[in-house]
Structure 1
Amino acid sequence: MVDEYPLIADHGLIGDLQTAALVSTDGTVDWFCCPRFDSPSVFAALLDRRRGGHCRIRPAAGPCTTRQLYFPDTAILITRFLGQSGIGEVVDFMPPAPRRQATAEHRLVRMLRCVRGRIDFEVDVAPSFDYGRRPHTTHLTDNGAVFDGGDLRLTLHAVREPEDARLADISVAQDNAVRGTVTLNAGQVRGFVLESGGQGAPRAVRVEEVARAFDSTVRFWHTWLARSTYGGRWREVLTRSAITLKLLTYAPTGAIIAAPTAGLPEQVGGERNWDYRYTWIRDASFAVQSLLGMGFTEEAADFARWLGERYQERGESATGPMKIMYRVDGSADVREEVLDHWEGYRGSSPVRIGNGASDQLQLDIYGELLDGIHHADRHGLRVGHQGWQALTGLLDWLADNWDQPEEGIWEVRGGRENFTYGRLMSWVAFDRGVRLMDKLGRPGPIARWLTERDRIYAQVWERGWDPGRRAFVQRYGSNVLDSSLLRMPQVGFLAPRDPMWLSTLAAMEEELVTDSLVLRYDPSASPDGLRGFEGTFSLCTFNYVHALVGAGQLDKARLVFEKMLTYGNRLGLYAEEIGPTGEQLGNFPQAFTHLALIDAAITLDHALDRAATAT
């Protein structure tokens, strides 16, 4: 069964800004949750080839050459099949859902096109509702089929012209899947539309209607991209990252999920398999900065509004007034459970849905939150009165609670520690709070915030620095390095060319950097409560580019950045990590990676421009 799984990188992403699907290079939709990103899956063959469910379209003639690309500057995916008898294409897209209104109605369009010769497409639609736990019935008609899973109903509408008598050679199999063959000659277009939430019977959809939906979707993406202000050296790369972030945005609330998938492993065959279909406070704060950096102020404002709602509705719990992650609608119930009936991607189990880290204490989120708000304020997105009162409450809580062990940014499951990064970002929280108070003239206990800020600063220099390693370390009392601290100069805690920082950077390069790729930390030196290892962390590699630019190593920074670009898939998409042989690992595509790519590119662009001007 292992060999039946495609590589994680062998996928493209489509979506309608409320949910998304992954399409592999063999024409299979093997991951799709509906009606939201964080809803139960309908197609999940990516995590279990036999029981997960799929929607497959492929040539019946056997092996052929495949190519995959996006229609330029859109989220419309084209999978091409090149064979001796003909060339065919599957064009996949989801027309954007309403921007402000959550809906159960979504359309996944799969256009089949014969470009040359003749081609027989095998069609296999086999949904598996509620992570494969809920049975369904199938009703076939002349115009399509209805899959009824109880809480969710999917309608398959045939794309055909009136002269087509009915769906050709399509039938219902014993497992309630719909299978058959569609034969096309050069110039013909057919296909189907898979619709959720509809109550009507399947209908014949004219090719002209699908063409209009295609054109409308193209206009949407081109209009949206026209707002980008980025004109630097890596326009195509950043355009694809921006589209990817937009696809990971739940439009009704503005929340950006960490990734559209769950259970994809950080080590194939290992247990580091997490559900990332939620919105992290940390990611949200970085997203505001990245979106503003490219000129997407509307998305940044929506996300900032979502953030504001989260800290204004703060509660009290053992882990502080805010959760580290939320569902896209702002609710906080992300309880973790294991799908024992699934084998996992290439045997990587357990398969988890929900995320147990949601109950962790991670002090760094308050610094990232305040840093994001401070950045938004510099771009004219002001904090209102109620928002300021809420922020004051958060900082008052942090003043009482920052000096304690926590689980940290990497969400370790080996117990709480005094992580240096958590202290660093607590310093950022108070520093940005003081700056905002001074700029906006808002009331608050500035003397207390200044005192706590300075206490943290002194503590990090005293306890976070290891004289033997000549480096800042992961946690107090250890000599373990951690690449989260690459952000120290980026957030202004120290000068980017401070000798103690340059010594830290050199130590990281010796221990955590391998051929320009950066590990988060060494699990063998710093046990995290989990078995096995992981790949290099792409976010950290892009943060390494930042650090090199700040250290004045511009040529090296550009080389690291350019090398990192070679690890994206053929569509320009990135997972969370890179494995030993260059394979992509972890949930895919990963928002954090694309956010860091945008930030690194913009930072590098500015530095290269300054260097060119200076010469």
Structure 2
Amino acid sequence: MGRPGSTGGFDRLGGYRYLPISEHGLIGDLRTAALVATDGTIDWYCCPRFDAPSMFASVLDADRGGRFELAADVPARTRQFYFPDTNVLITRFFAADGVAEIQDFMPVVDESREADRHRLIRRVVSVRGTLPFRATVAPRFGYGAQQHTVELVDGHAVFRSPELDVALTATVPVETDGQDVLAHFKLLEGESAVFALDRVSDAIGPRACPNREAEQQFQATVRFWRHWLSQSRYHGRWREMVHRSALLLKLLTYAPTGAIIAAPTTSLPEQVGGERNWDYRYVWVRDAAFCIYAMLRLGFTAEAEAFMGFISETGIMRGTGESGPLQIMYGIDGRCDLPERELAHLEGHLGSAPVRVGNAATGQLQLDIYGALIDSVYLYDKWGQPISSGHWDEVGAVVDWLCDHWDQPDEGIWETRAGRRDFVYSRLMCWVALERAIRMANRRGLPADLPRWQRARDAIYRQIMARGWSTERGAFVQGLDDKVLDASLLMMPMAKFISPTDPKWLSTLDALTSDLVSDSLVYRYDPTASPDGLRGSEGTFSICSFWYVEALARAGRLEEARLAFEKMLTYANHVGLFAEEIGRTGEQLGNFPQAFTHLSLISAAFNLDRALG
């Protein structure tokens, strides 16, 4: 549980400054989320929305980021787990004189609108014996850049900053040092203490959270998550991991609009000390569309319907991007402008600078997103509710545009910053967009320029077969007429572009296994063979590892698929969560937890389970 690289800063368990990325659980209320470390400290929290400036960000800067520390005030071992079938997180402390636990959760209010009050509750319970505890509430507003004041009023503390005011109420005495709020208290067996953090304003005042109310809120939150999860239709071999992934995807949903974010964090490094640090607190069309597939597979049609509402109400498919009808990502409220800037005053996780907010990839052309989106519309129309005539008009306009623009270079699925190229995966997903649109038109008798759509679809197929196949490599390759392998092509049989037992595909699968797979873990590509415009290296990409499992299963290599899947599960953290990547020694890298990884886990588990019978 140590924090590598201790060079000062606040003293946590072990005296280190940073826990590994994986040493966290996530709580949330379908509007924002918080990372809770295994030593009881909230290391990341943005209020009132996922994309708001942070008030706790010690995961990015142990000294200037801000934190909510709550821990036993004696040497203790800790363990962390989720209350079964919920997103309520329990951190337990085992000391010489007793055992206690922190119950962390955010009550979920009406899902249909933004909440006036955002509440984070931390309840400490002495389970056995007696334990002293300490608390330090040290917010640093505006990503640690804004000054704040704090005052104690009628037993509660109010923190005020230029853009956000929050109140801390507690059932134990608290004091202030002028900037932070501190508490020291002792709990006898069976006793509890409650800390509640609320956003406040002129219209919303501080509200106490006595033990009885905390218990009621705890039970209500447990009921909410269990009721939601009870809709799942998955009863296969990996039920616990699949359901944890589903709960995570739900946590990453912004309820007021139906948007689904890629991850709740920014700038957690893909390489410690490197520059591959990005803000993922936005709606990637690709990621969200793939999430809809995973949710529909499990029977959660309401989430698919909400995302379709997000597409419709924000007018995304009616044309907002400079490069075409779609941008690659949007804000959780549908906004298009996400300017990227660097926060030079934050050192980054383990010194991994720069820390970025916003994302300049917004302006990229990534043609594969059209396939992901149209496929999600197709699946919703098939498994959820038939799409409306208005939605079909939007689909038709997008597909008509794609007929004229599929044959051009783009930045591709991996958002390279080395210029546009003719990526085979982008062509593949353009084919998917056209093929799924044609299926919908034929199945429902919807109006469409089918001859034109079919000509474009067939032209893409022929181009991939002629120029996306390398005879020398015996494999489909990253770009037209080149020789570089790319793990994104694991999607070819899943997209039904090619039979999973086609000789060309099996040869490709063997080539990918040889060049990009390391003990079931899959690299996206070789950056030395295919420069991406960024310095440094990266870990294996977890979504690709789960795609690899599914490709093996579809090819009939079930023993290999099952072993690869079981190996991948060993890289999950202690509560079943995955970041974006896995490093050479098994450490989790990149923003955490990552929707992409968990949706691919669901798909791999579903299809492998079905193949095993």
TM-score > 0.5 by shorter chain: yes
User: Shift in Å at residue 191 of structure 1?
Assistant: 2.1
Letter of the 2:200 counterpart: G
Deviations 1:252-282 (A, max 9, x none): 1111110000000000110000000011110
Q: Which of 474, 478, 487 lines up with 1:474 in the alignment? A: 478
SS of 1:223's equivalent? helix
Deviations 1:43-74 (A, max 9, x none): 0000001111110001112x311000111111
Q: State yes or no: 1:30 paired with 2:43.
A: yes
Does the C-alpha gap of structure 1 residues 311 and 362 become closer, same or farther in structure 2, counting only changes over 3 Å?
farther
User: Shift in Å at residue 400 of structure 1?
Assistant: 1.2
Letter of the 2:375 counterpart: D
SS of 2:377's equivalent? helix
Q: Which of 176, 185, 188 lines up with 2:188 in the alignment? A: 185
In angstroms, what is the RMSD of aligned CA positions?
1.3
- Which whole-Å CA distance do the structure 2 matches of 1:536 and 1:344 have between them? 21
Q: Structure 2 matches for 1:529-568, cutoff 5 A?
A: 529-568=533-572
SS of 1:21's equivalent? strand
Q: Structure 2 matches for 1:234-245, cutoff 5 A?
A: 234-245=238-249
Query: Which range moved further: 315-324 or 205-214?
Result: 315-324
Q: Is the 8 A contact 1:248 1:259 kept in 2?
A: yes
- Which whole-Å CA distance do the structure 1 matches of 2:451 and 2:37 have between them? 56
Does the C-alpha gap of structure 1 residues 482 and 180 become closer, same or farther in structure 2, counting only changes over 3 Å?
same
Q: State yes or no: 1:9 paired with 2:13.
A: no
Query: Partner residue of 1:587?
Result: 591
Letter of the 1:299 counterpart: E
Query: Partner residue of 2:253?
Result: 249
- Which whole-Å CA distance do the structure 1 matches of 2:545 and 2:210 have between them? 48
- Which whole-Å CA distance do the structure 2 matches of 1:317 and 1:17 have between them? 27
Q: Which of 195, 199, 214 lines up with 2:198 in the alignment? A: 195
Does the C-alpha gap of structure 1 residues 316 and 401 become closer, same or farther in structure 2, counting only changes over 3 Å?
farther
- Which whole-Å CA distance do the structure 2 matches of 1:197 and 1:365 have between them? 39
Deviations 1:586-610 (A, max 9, x none): 000000101000000000111011x
Q: State yes or no: 1:221 paired with 2:225.
A: yes
User: Shift in Å at residue 318 of structure 1?
Assistant: 3.5
SS of 1:67's equivalent? strand
Query: Partner residue of 2:14?
Result: none
Q: Is the 8 A contact 1:288 1:304 kept in 2?
A: no
Q: State yes or no: 1:435 paired with 2:448.
A: no
Q: Is the 8 A contact 2:316 2:326 kept in 1?
A: no
Letter of the 2:43 counterpart: D
Letter of the 1:420 counterpart: V
**Structure 1: which 5+ residue stretches go unaligned?**
161-166, 610-615
Letter of the 1:192 counterpart: F
Letter of the 2:416 counterpart: V
Q: Is the 8 A contact 1:35 1:104 kept in 2?
A: no
Q: Structure 2 matches for 1:301-316, cutoff 5 A?
A: 301-310=305-314, 314-315=318-319
Deviations 1:169-188 (A, max 9, x none): x32124x1111212111111
**Structure 2: which 5+ residue stretches go unaligned?**
7-16
Q: State yes or no: 1:571 paired with 2:575.
A: yes
Q: State yes or no: 1:72 paired with 2:84.
A: yes
Q: Which of 130, 133, 148 lines up with 1:121 in the alignment? A: 133
Letter of the 2:155 counterpart: N
Letter of the 1:188 counterpart: E
Query: Which range moved further: 376-385 or 302-311?
Result: 302-311
Count of aligned residue pairs for this structure pair? 599
Q: Is the 8 A contact 1:64 1:82 kept in 2?
A: yes
SS of 2:102's equivalent? strand
Q: Which of 473, 485, 490 lines up with 2:489 in the alignment? A: 485
User: Shift in Å at residue 317 of structure 1?
Assistant: 4.4
- Which whole-Å CA distance do the structure 1 matches of 2:253 and 2:295 have between them? 12
- Which whole-Å CA distance do the structure 2 matches of 1:398 and 1:603 have between them? 30
Letter of the 1:46 counterpart: V
Query: Partner residue of 1:85?
Result: 97
The structure 1 segments of at least 4 consecutive aligned residues displaced by more than 6 Å after TM superposition are none
Deviations 1:139-191 (A, max 9, x none): 11342200011221101011x3xxxxxx43x32124x1111212111111112
Q: Which of 124, 128, 140 lines up with 1:112 in the alignment? A: 124
Q: Is the 8 A contact 2:317 2:395 kept in 1?
A: no
Query: Partner residue of 2:32?
Result: 19
Does the C-alpha gap of structure 1 residues 255 and 204 become closer, same or farther in structure 2, counting only changes over 3 Å?
closer
Q: Which of 341, 345, 350 lines up with 2:345 in the alignment? A: 341
- Which whole-Å CA distance do the structure 1 matches of 2:506 and 2:313 have between them? 40
SS of 2:536's equivalent? coil
Query: Which range moved further: 407-416 or 378-387?
Result: 378-387
Q: Which of 266, 269, 289 lines up with 2:273 in the alignment? A: 269
- Which whole-Å CA distance do the structure 2 matches of 1:429 and 1:202 have between them? 51
Q: State yes or no: 1:59 paired with 2:72.
A: yes
Q: State yes or no: 1:405 paired with 2:409.
A: yes
